[in-house]
Every structure is written in structure tokens, then in C-alpha cells.
């Protein structure tokens, strides 16, 4: 199927294009044209802006669902819940848990993906843990923390049908550097998280093949002028990506803005959303931990932040406002940078000739009006 999108504005990688027509053919973007042939299909979004679909590479759950529920229904529920929020691609994300529970959760994701997700599409599984350090455990269960074991990881990869594309671990644990080397060799994004490593150890991990820092500033040793720590390594290392939760609670707006200026296109906006997202305040579970959400902020009984309830598009809005950077630049930190971190930027993340036609239609308030996956409009906001 071929059609042309008409809109007031298009958010491109390096600019905001005014007017024109964008070709979509067989699920992929074509080129822009000023005039179109007769007898062609026009999808008219005059008065609106068209942007690339958002890509959440770190999301545990939403709308009462969680990947650690270990059910295909939870995976489908997350997929369908995030599409109206402008997210067209995501990484179903696990938590530290027992080997058996992780087996079940991974198998459920694999089954749901094989059945076909009706909303946002999965681009692979993210294992957050279990190879972490207790000092910065956050909402991860330390009962299951252990040293990295690549044979164990390969068992999970087998259950996943080879779909695990990202794993987070603490680089100071015994055997971590060798694990990172093997993961990198196999094309898996080794990420640094829930760690008390110092600056030098973090650099060693990067030299070995690690390529990402998970929810920067949270769950890691902080920046100090005599020991830069994990945060210092993330901010001074141009090779590595760094995730940021821009809800105003996990990271102060000024620090988020500073990070955006330092990291540039190596910054990835994420949600780290858990099952309480889109739900009312109340009591919830994050893995095996009871969580209380009050005023939209989820915390464990010990007071630690327990993931977030952030919508990725709100993270874009927030950082756009805090940083003063143009919308097209910040938007791509939630679409193109995530894709690039996984080596998928040749196919996803921006409106570019030949790429998969994932796109979102937004109004002047950056509110989602429609969302398309591979050229097919799968969500359209009801007009009042």
C-alpha cells in the first residue's frame, strides 16, 4: 500500500520541515515531495505535526501489567497500552528474580511476540539483573544477586529464541568483564547499572564492550571531584549511551538539562515504568516488593523509588522545556538514540527514506492524535 502524509510540520533528525507530502510505501518511508500524482491516497493531518515513533528501551509494565507477571496477557497489555502514548517500539524489561521466574517471564515475552503484538512492537528483551551490587540495589531484590554467569545467560537466550538484546550488570562483580566481552561479541548491549564501581572500573567495562549506563544517576556511585565514579564515567565517555528518566523525581531538571547538553545524541530517554503507570494512586507490586504510589510517585516500603509511572512523551516534553533545546532534537533522544544504542538506527528512529514507517501525529500541546507501526495506523484518537 502506498499513500502520502500531509501535515503542517515533520520532525526530522536535524530540522523541522514545514509542509509538503511524505510518501509511505509498503510500510516504509519514502521521500518528501511538494506535489503528488493524481489518483493517489492522501492521509491528511493538516494542523498537526508528524514525528517518528517513540522507542522505550526500558519499561517493566503499565496499566496493571508487568513483564514479571510471566504471562502473554501482560506483554500484550503493555504493547497495547503504550501505543496511544506514541510508543511504537519497546524492550520488555525484566527485574532481578529467581531463575525460574525469569525463565517464565522470558518465555512469555517470546510467546506473545510470536503470536503478534497488536500495539507497539518488541525489539527484543532487556534483562535488568540479576548481576548487581547490594549497595545500590534500588527496587531490585538482593536475595538473587550473584556473579555474572554467561552459561546461565545463554540458557535464557535459548528460551528467548535469541531475542535478548540488552543486559544490565554491575561491572565490579567477579567475572563481569569477561561476561561483558562475551555479550558484546554476541551483539548484546551490556549496560552498567545498580553498581558501586569506581571510575576506573567503569572505564574498564567500557573498554571491554559495555555501551550503556542504565537510568543515569540512579542506582550507581555518584560524581565526586576526586573520584568521578560511574556517573563521571558516563558523562566523560563519548562512546557510551546513557539513559535518563525525565520525570522530575529521579533526576533534578537542571541536572537532566546539563546531561542533555553533555551527552548529545548519546542520551536515551526512558520511562522505567512499572505496573502503576496510567493507574490511580494505591498499593502495587514491583516484582516481589510491595510498592505504594502517591501523587504518581512509586516507592518501596523502605522509601526507594520503585521505577516510575512516566509516559515517554512526557519525558520528551519535560526535557524540551527544561533544556530549551528544539523539539526535534529532544524527540530523537526518545526515538533515534534508543534505536542507535541497539544498532537499529538504520531501520528505526527517524523519518528517513527507506526506514520503517513508525510515526506519531501530535498537536501543538505534544498530545498524541494517532500512531502508526510500519505504515499502518493502529491508533487514532477519538474526536469529540
Which part of the chain has CATH 3.20.20.140? 54-341
- The CATH superfamily holding the domain 54-341 is Metal-dependent hydrolases (3.20.20.140)
Q: What is the pLDDT of residue 288?
A: 80
Among candidate residues 69, 101, 272, 358, the one labeled active-site is 272
Q: What is the pLDDT of residue 138?
A: 83
Q: What is the pLDDT of residue 326?
A: 97
**How many Å is the Cα radius of gyration of the chain?**
20
Q: Please spell the DSSP secondary structure of 280-347, one letter per residue.
A: -SEEEEETTEEEEEETTEEEETTS-B-SB---HHHHHHHHHHHH---HHHHHHTTTHHHHHHTT-TTT
From first to last of its 384 residues, the chain has per-residue pLDDT tens of 899 999 999 999 999 999 999 999 999 999 999 988 888 999 999 999 999 999 999 999 999 999 999 999 999 999 999 999 999 999 999 999 999 999 999 999 999 999 999 999 999 999 999 999 999 988 889 999 999 999 999 999 999 999 999 999 999 999 999 999 999 999 999 999 999 999 999 999 999 999 999 999 999 999 999 999 999 999 999 999 999 999 999 999 999 999 999 999 999 999 999 999 999 999 998 878 888 999 989 888 888 888 899 999 999 999 999 999 999 999 999 999 999 999 999 999 999 999 999 999 999 999 999 999 999 999 999 876
Q: What is the pLDDT of residue 204?
A: 98
Q: What is the pLDDT of residue 384?
A: 62
Q: What is the pLDDT of residue 86?
A: 98
- Give per-residue burial for 321-354: e unless 16+ CB within 10 Å, then b: ebbebebbbbbbbbbbbbbbbbebbeebbbbbee
Domain 2-51+351-380 fold is Urease, subunit C; domain 1 (2.30.40)
Which part of the chain has CATH 2.30.40.10? 2-51+351-380
Note if 281 is an active site residue: no
Q: What is the pLDDT of residue 221?
A: 95
SS3 of residue 348 by DSSP: coil
Alpha carbon separation from 179 to 55, 91, 107, 237, 325 (Å, rounded): 27, 21, 23, 21, 38
Amino acid at each position: 500500500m502506498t499513500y502520502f502524509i500531509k501535515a503542517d510540520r515533520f520532525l526530522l533528525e536535524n530540522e523541522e520541515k514545514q509542509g509538503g507530502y511524505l510518501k509511505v510505501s509498503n510500510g516504509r518511508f519514502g521521500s518528501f515531495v511538494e506535489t503528488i500524482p493524481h489518483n493517489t491516497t492522501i492521509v491528511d493531518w493538516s494542523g498537526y505535526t508528524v514525528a517518528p515513533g517513540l522507542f522505550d528501551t526500558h519499561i517493566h509494565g503499565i496499566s496493571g501489567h508487568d513483564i514479571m507477571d510471566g504471562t502473554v496477557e501482560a506483554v500484550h497489555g503493555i504493547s497495547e497500552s503504550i501505543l496511544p502514548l506514541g510508543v511504537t517500539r519497546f524492550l520488555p524489561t525484566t527485574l532481578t528474580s529467581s531463575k525460574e521466574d525469569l525463565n517464565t517471564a522470558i518465555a512469555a515475552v517470546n510467546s506473545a511476540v510470536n503470536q503478534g503484538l497488536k500495539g507497539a512492537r518488541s525489539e527484543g528483551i532487556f534483562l535488568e539483573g540479576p548481576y548487581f551490587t547490594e549497595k545500590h540495589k534500588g527496587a531490585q531484590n538482593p536475595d538473587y544477586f550473584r556473579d555474572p554467569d554467561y552459561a546461565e545467560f545463554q540458557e535464557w537466550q535459548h528460551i528467548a529464541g535469541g531475542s535478548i538484546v540488552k543486559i544490565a550488570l554491575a561491572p565490579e562483580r567477579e567475572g563481569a568483564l569477561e561476561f561483558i566481552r562475551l555479550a558484546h561479541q554476541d551483539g548484546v548491549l551490556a549496560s552498567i547499572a545498580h553498581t558501586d564501581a569506581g571510575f576506573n572500573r567503569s572505564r574498564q567495562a567500557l573498554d571491554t564492550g559495555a555501551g550503556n549506563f542504565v537510568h543515569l544517576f540512579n542506582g550507581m556511585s555518584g560524581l565526586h571531584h576526586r573520584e568521578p565514579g560511574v556517573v563521571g564515567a558516563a558523562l566523560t565517555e563519548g562512546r557510551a549511551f546513557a539513559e535518563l528518566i525525565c520525570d522530575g523525581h529521579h533526576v533534578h531538571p537542571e541536572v537532566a538539562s546539563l546531561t542533555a547538553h553533555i551527552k548529545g545524541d548519546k542520551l536515551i530517554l526512558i520511562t522505567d515504568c512499572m505496573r502503576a503507570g496510567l493507574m490511580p494512586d494505591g498499593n502495587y507490586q514491583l516484582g516481589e516488593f510491595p510498592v505504594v504510589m502517591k501523587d504518581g510517585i512509586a516507592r518501596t516500603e523502605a522509601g526507594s523509588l520503585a521505577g516510575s509511572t512516566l509516559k515517554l512523551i512526557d519525558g520528551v516534553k519535560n526535557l524540551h522545556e527544561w533544556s530549551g533545546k528544539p523539539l526535534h532534537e529532544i524527540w530523537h533522544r526518545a526515538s533515534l538514540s534508543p534505536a542507535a544504542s541497539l544498532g537499529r538506527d538504520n531501520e528505526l528512529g527517524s523519518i528517513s527514506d527507506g526506514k520503517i514507517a513508525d510515526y506519531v501525529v501530535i498537536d501543538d500541546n505534544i498530545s498524541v492524535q494517532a500512531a502508526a507501526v510500519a505504515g499502518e495506523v493502529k491508533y487514532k484518537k477519538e474526536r469529540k
